[in-house]
Amino acid sequence: MPWGEFKDTAAERRLFQRRAMVMLVFVFLLLLVLVARMYQLQVVEHDIYTTLSDKNRVQVQSVPPPRGLVYDRNHVLLAENRPVFSVTVVPERVGDIDHALEQLVGILDVSDEDLERFQRRLREPRRPFQEIPLRYDLTEDEIARLAVHRHELPGVEVEAELVRYYPHSELTAHALGFVGRINRDELQRIDPVNYAGTNYIGKSGVERFYEELLHGKVGYQHVETNARGRTLRVLERENPVPGEDLQLHIDLRLQSRAHELLDGRRGAIVAIEPETGGILALASVPGFDANKFVTGISVPDYRDLSESKDKPLFNRALRGQYAPASTIKPMLGIAALDSGAVTRDLSIWDPGYFQINSKGRRWRDWKRGGHGWVDLTHAMAQSCDVYYYEAAIEMGIDTMVDYLSRFGFGEDATLDVAGALSGILPSPDWKRATHSQPWYPGDTVNLGIGQGFMLATPLQLATATALIANRGEWVEPRLLKDIQGDRSAEEFLPAETHEPLQLKDPSDWEFITDAMAEVMHGSKGTARASGRGASYRMAGKTGTAQVFSLAEDEEYDAEEIKERLRDHALFVGFAPTEKPQIAVAVIVENGGGGSGTAAPVARALFDAWLLELSSSGSGSLVSKADLQNEVP
Partner 1 sequence: MAAREVFSSTASNPLGRPRGFWSALHLDPILLFLLIALISGGLFILYSGADRNLEVVKAQSVRFGVAFVVMLVFAQFDPSVFRRWAPWLYVLGLAGLIAVLAVGVGAKGAQRWLALPGLPRFQPSEFMKLVVPMMAAWYLSRHFLPPRLSRIGVGLVIALLPMLLIVRQPDLGTSLLVGMAGLFVVFFAGMSWKLISAFLAMVSVAAPVMWFFGMREYQKQRVLTLLDPQSDPLGAGWNIIQSKTAIGSGGVDGKGWLQGTQSHLEFLPESHTDFIVAVLAEEFGFVGVLILLSVYFLIILRCLFIAVTAQDSFSRLLAGALTMTFFIYVFVNVGMVSGLLPVVGVPLPLISYGGTSTVTLMAAFGVLMSIRTHRRMITA
- Contacts with partner 1 by CB under 8 A lie at 2-5, 7-9, 11-13, 15-17, 19-20, 23-24, 27-28, 30-31, 33-35, 37-39, 41-43, 45-46, 48-50, 52-53, 56-57, 125-128, 224-228, 232
Residue 173 beta carbon to partner 1: minimum distance, rounded to whole angstroms: 44
Which residue, 134 or 223, has its beta carbon nearer to partner 1?
Answer: 223
Which residue, 45 or 137, has its beta carbon nearer to partner 1?
Answer: 45
The one catalytic residue in 204, 326, 427, 614 is 326
Which residue, 234 or 529, has its beta carbon nearer to partner 1?
Answer: 234
Q: Which residues pair with 583 in a beta bridge?
A: 272, 574
Q: Which amino acid is at 47?
A: D
Which residue, 50 or 183, has its beta carbon nearer to partner 1?
Answer: 50
Residue 295 beta carbon to partner 1: minimum distance, rounded to whole angstroms: 30
- Cα separation of 224 and 58, whole Å? 5
Residue 167 beta carbon to partner 1: minimum distance, rounded to whole angstroms: 44
Which residue, 4 or 192, has its beta carbon nearer to partner 1?
Answer: 4
Could you tell me if 344 and 404 are in contact, meaning their C-beta atoms sit under 8 angstroms apart? Answer: no
- Cα separation of 395 and 80, whole Å? 52
Q: Which of 501, 472, 28, 526 is nearest to 326 (CA)?
A: 526
Q: Is 326 annotated in the active site?
A: yes
Could you tell me if 220 and 193 are in contact, meaning their C-beta atoms sit under 8 angstroms apart? Answer: no
How does DSSP classify residue 197? T
- Burial (CB count <10 Å: 0-12, 13-18, 19+), residue 619: exposed
Helix (H/G/I), strand (E/B), else coil: 151: helix
- Cα separation of 196 and 219, whole Å? 9
Residue 213 beta carbon to partner 1: minimum distance, rounded to whole angstroms: 40
Which residue, 129 or 366, has its beta carbon nearer to partner 1?
Answer: 129
Q: Which of 357, 381, 356, 361 is nearest to 371 (CA)?
A: 381
- Cα first-last separation, the chain: 146
- Cα separation of 191 and 218, whole Å? 11
DSSP letters, 546-602, are ------TTSPP-HHHHHHHTSPEEEEEEEE-SSS--EEEEEEETT---IIIIIHHHH
Q: What residues have CB less than 8 Å from 286, skipping those under 6 apart?
A: 266, 310, 312
Residue 89 beta carbon to partner 1: minimum distance, rounded to whole angstroms: 18
Helices 329-339 and 397-406: crossing angle in degrees, nearest 10, is 120
Residue 144 beta carbon to partner 1: minimum distance, rounded to whole angstroms: 32
Which residue, 231 or 437, has its beta carbon nearer to partner 1?
Answer: 231
Which residue, 35 or 565, has its beta carbon nearer to partner 1?
Answer: 35
Residue 87 beta carbon to partner 1: minimum distance, rounded to whole angstroms: 24
Which residue, 33 or 187, has its beta carbon nearer to partner 1?
Answer: 33
Residue 12 beta carbon to partner 1: minimum distance, rounded to whole angstroms: 5
Angle at the Cα of 168 from the Cα atoms of 71 and 272, rounded to 5 degrees: 60
Asked if residue 458 has a cis previous peptide bond (ω within 30° of 0), the answer is: no
Phi (first) and psi of residue 282, to 5 degrees:
-140, 90
Phi (first) and psi of residue 279, to 5 degrees:
-85, 115
The β-bridge relationship of strands 246-248 and 70-71 is parallel
How does DSSP classify residue 609? I
Phi (first) and psi of residue 253, to 5 degrees:
-70, -40
Which residue, 34 or 495, has its beta carbon nearer to partner 1?
Answer: 34
For the four alpha carbons of 440, 442, 444 and 450, in that order, the dihedral sign comes to negative
Residue 224 beta carbon to partner 1: minimum distance, rounded to whole angstroms: 7
Residue 115 beta carbon to partner 1: minimum distance, rounded to whole angstroms: 24
Segment 386-389 long-range contacts (CB within 8 Å, at least 24 positions apart): 386/348, 386/350, 386/351, 386/352, 386/353, 386/354, 387/348, 387/350, 388/329, 388/332, 388/448, 388/449, 389/354, 389/363, 389/445, 389/448, 389/449
Q: Which residues pair with 56 in a beta bridge?
A: none
- By annotation, the residues acting in catalysis are 326
